[in-house]
Amino acid sequence: MSRDAKVQWAAGGLMALALAASMGLSVQMTSIAGKAKLTYTDRAEDNDRWEISLGVAMGAFRGIFVNALWMRANDMKEAGKYYEAVELARAITRLQPRFPRVWVFHAWNLAYNISVMTKTREERWDWVNQGIRILRDEGIQANPNDLLLHKELAWIYAHKIQGFTDDANNYYKRQVAREWTVVMGPPPRRDSDDRVRSKAIAKYVAWLTTIAEAPKSLEAIYAAHPQAPALIAKLQSELNWNLENPLDRFAMLERVEINRAYETSARKEVFFARMAGPRTNALRVLMNDPQYKDVWEPLVLHVRNRVLTQDFHMEVDRMIRYTDKYGPLDWRHPSTHALYWSARGVEEAGDRVRDDKKNQQDFDFLNTDRIVVQSLQELFRTGDIFFDFRASIFQQYPMYQVMPSAHFAESYGMVLDEIRSRAWAWDPSRGQVIKLEDQTAERGVSHLSDGYQNFLIDVVLFMYRRGDMQSAGEWYSKLRNFKKQNVYDPDRVARFSVPINEFVQTELNDQATRPSTTISQVQGAIFNAYAAGLLGQDPDVFLSQMNYARDFHRYFMNEQARRTSVDRETYRMEQLDRDFNVVAGNTFVFFIQSLDLDDANSSYIAAPPSLQAWAYDILREKYFDEIAAARQIAASGKTFDQLFPEPPEADLKAARDHIVEMMTQREKQQNNERQ
């Protein structure tokens, strides 16, 4: 046998072995890919668009075909063919589900490019929400540890919704608050424990834990509650709800929250007799039926758990962990979702980097972590929410008021070192990735330190205005002395060496028209008026602080109040209600709820009748039944009417008329806009 023949036989044998090995491995690899959802669309369904059928048929040339589809989708968007663009986007993501930038391109197209070309706030929200859902419900599920997808989803919440650059941002915020009130129910009611950060966190963790520990199946509920099958059958027969259907699960939670909202209302009989439909009244009968009393709570918790985990693709255990780590997160707040998705992306992608350090430059940890700290900053500025869910039931423009949450003041600094430790930078002189801390040490400049310095300034201004001078002084000291601060500013020492009162005044001169500063100063002054003025029995402090808050509020509204053609009911930068009486009244309710009942009684009695009138109806709804049942208030066993006497009829009527007039005017504006 010649030498060439031997080589040919050896090559043939090697090829045969390789083919045999590939056949054996292909089965195993196909199984692994299927379990990990790493497969592409390889067959067309009867109702698929023709692009999917053609893309599947093109096989290896699919990538070229998809590039052509991208260009066509962009042309459709430019031509205003919104729905066609969405359908084409879905076709592309089916053909290339494992390429994250495909999802990002189309989510951005939906939430930003297409949304701003529509003419009403409702249309805008629909497109923005589609952008959220395509990332959350599809893109991240196909690419569960991709950092880019998490970052882009977090950015939509942080910038598009929580920011104020979009003319309809106030409408978006209300829609998020309404949706998450339905999904999770109202957050824990405020009480005196909320003044202590650790206690507030523990309360929110306990709230989430009830959802996490809910029965995982209907069978588990059936086993514990014999009446449950009959209730589920009636929900199916009388309300046509199939709890295996995601839409029906959400519909059930929505109706439950509507019923609960009006059961605590002074107008509940009017609502159920005149305004509620047959389905709402049918549900009320079932919810009030004594035989199902013990079934409803585990059933609702079960449905909440399924909606969160199966429909919204959230992890309740992770939500608990983030609450424990960052602070008492209110899930009605857009920045809470920005924080969740950005932090989740960093954690999930971190495993990939730890497994292969060579690919570190492929992961943009720094910019994703920036969304984490930006979210914490926004939660400090606006983390407490007053949202009137009841007003949203009949498509009224619900009241939505935000207040600073001091509990998040500590959170920003707590995560900085963690962020620095994983951030990297590209060093062109070395041609390699280096730690950001090493680059900072060489240059003496850190953008993270700049951001933290600006955050500390916000904290000092708020603490000072709310009258907490001890905390203001401590934060001012931290501002001047925190580690790894930038030293490139020659005026830094002079800027931060002046007395705190002078420092505050100087900073406010440049920031009075910023929405975050307005919230901080107005809410801080009002809080000081109530704490030092009403509770502290100092009328002069009360008047001076209320006048300061009113003047600051008026100045901001005069400077920044601008209507838009998209949302005629709120100004684009109206982060506080334009009516100062509404702001003061809602804040008074928040303040009262954070006190024990003895202090709440003292503050209420000291308040002027006009302020009592704003809070009276809400206080009565929240506390009347509780006080009547317990009758263990302090040592005296006072009734509700003794603790919170009804204000003079004229003041109460004026406050109620003011609210009705405000809502009527906004409804008229809404109707005029639709005509």
- 167: confidence class by pLDDT, cuts 50, 70, 90: confident
Tell whether the model's pLDDT for residue 663 goes beyond 50: yes
Q: What is the mean pLDDT of residues 397-410?
A: 88
Highest mean pLDDT among 1-10, 108-117, 133-142: 133-142
pLDDT of residue 569: 62
The answer on pLDDT for 528 being more than 50 is yes
Q: Which residue has the higher pLDDT, 164 or 357?
A: 164
Q: Can you tell me the distance from the alpha carbon of 225 to that of 264, in angstroms, rounded to the nearest whole number? A: 27
User: Minimal CA–CA distance to 515: which of 464, 470, 570, 567?
Assistant: 570
Distance from C-alpha of 318 to C-alpha of 309, rounded to nearest angstrom: 11
Query: Residue 24: what pLDDT?
Result: 61
Residue 476 predicted with pLDDT over 80: yes
pLDDT surpassing 70 at residue 399: yes
Q: Any long-range contacts for 33-40 (C-beta under 8 Å, 24+ apart)?
A: 37/141, 37/142, 38/98, 40/95, 40/96, 40/97, 40/98
Give the mean pLDDT of the chain: 82
Q: How far apart are the C-alpha atoms of 122 and 119, rounded to whole Å?
A: 9
Tell me which of 625 and 254 has the higher pLDDT: 254
Confidence of residue 429 (pLDDT cuts 50, 70, 90): low
- Flag whether pLDDT at 231 surpasses 90: yes
**Mean pLDDT, range 505-520, rounded to an integer:** 84
* Of 321, 341, 333, 315, residue with least CA distance to 139: 341
Split at pLDDT 50, 70, 90, the class of 512 is confident
Where is pLDDT greater, at 497 or 276?
A: 497
User: Is 301 a residue whose pLDDT tops 70?
Assistant: yes
Q: What is the pLDDT of residue 281?
A: 85
Whether the per-residue pLDDT at 22 is higher than 70: the answer is no
Least confident of 91-95, 212-216, 664-668: 664-668
Tell whether the model's pLDDT for residue 632 goes beyond 90.
Answer: no
Q: Mean of the pLDDT values across residues 139-147? A: 92
Between 213 and 15, the more confident residue is: 213
Lowest mean pLDDT: which of 195-199, 373-377, 577-581, 617-621?
617-621
Cα(340)–Cα(132) distance, integer angstroms = 14
With contact defined as beta carbons under 8 Å apart, do 214 and 301 qualify? yes
Determine the average pLDDT of the residues in 218-224. 95
Contact by Cβ (8 Å): 107, 137: no
- Greatest Cα pair distance, the chain, in angstroms, is 116
pLDDT at position 113 is 84
Average pLDDT, stretch 120-133? 93
Is 92's pLDDT higher than 50? yes
Q: Phi and psi at residue 267, in whole multiples of 5°?
A: -100, 20
Q: What is the pLDDT of residue 398?
A: 80
Q: Is the pLDDT of residue 387 over 80?
A: yes
pLDDT over 50 (residue 38): no
* Rounded to 5°, angle at Cα 518 from 121 and 376: 75
Identify the pLDDT of residue 329.
Answer: 97
Amino acid 45: pLDDT: 47
Q: Compute the distance between CA of residue 96 and CA of residue 65 in angstroms, rounded to an integer.
A: 11
Mean pLDDT of 52-73: 60
pLDDT digits (tens, 9 = 90+) for 566-575: 665 666 656 7
pLDDT in tens, 339-370: 999 999 999 988 777 655 566 666 778 889 99
DSSP 216: S
Residue 61: pLDDT band by 50, 70, 90 thresholds? very low
Q: How confident is the model at residue 151 (pLDDT cuts 50, 70, 90)?
A: very high
Q: What percent of the chain has pLDDT over 70?
A: 81
Categorize the per-residue pLDDT at 216 as very low, low, confident or very high, splitting at 50, 70 and 90: very high
HSE-up of residue 523 (Cα within 13 Å, Cβ side) = 31
pLDDT range class, residue 83, cuts 50, 70, 90: confident
pLDDT tier, 68 (very low <50, low <70, confident <90, very high otherwise): confident
User: Can you give the pLDDT at residue 331?
Assistant: 98
User: Is residue 395 packed enough to be buried (19+ CB in 10 Å), middle (13-18) or exposed (0-12)?
Assistant: exposed
Residue 579 — very low, low, confident or very high, per pLDDT cuts 50/70/90? Answer: confident
Mean per-residue pLDDT, 264-272: 71
What pLDDT is recorded for position 125?
Answer: 94
Does residue 139 register a pLDDT over 90? yes
At 58 the pLDDT is 46
Residue 653: both structure tokens together: 């009527």
- Please give the model's pTM, rounded to 2 decimal places: 0.83
Phi and psi at residue 572, in whole multiples of 5°?
-60, -35
- pLDDT higher for 623 or 298? 298
Exposure string over 628-638, b if 16+ CB within 10 A, otherwise e = eeeeebeeeeb
Count of positions (residues) in the chain: 675
Instruction: Please give the radius of gyration of the chain, using alpha carbons only, rounded to the nearest integer.
Output: 29
What contacts 232, CB < 8 A, 6 or more positions away? 218, 243, 299
Q: Check residues 79 and 148 and name the one with the higher pLDDT.
A: 148
Tens of pLDDT, residue by residue over 433-459, are 666 665 665 565 678 888 999 999 999
Question: What pLDDT sits at residue 50?
Answer: 39
Overall average pLDDT of the 326-331 stretch: 97
Mean predicted confidence (pLDDT) in 333-344: 97
**Is residue 431 pLDDT above 90, yes or no?**
no
Which H or E run contains 169? helix 169-184
Q: Is the pLDDT of residue 497 over 80?
A: yes
Helix (H), strand (E) at residue 457? helix 447-465
Give pLDDT, residue 44.
41
Q: What is the mean pLDDT of residues 654-661?
A: 71
Residue 313 near residue 137 (C-beta atoms within 8 A): yes
pLDDT for res 316: 97
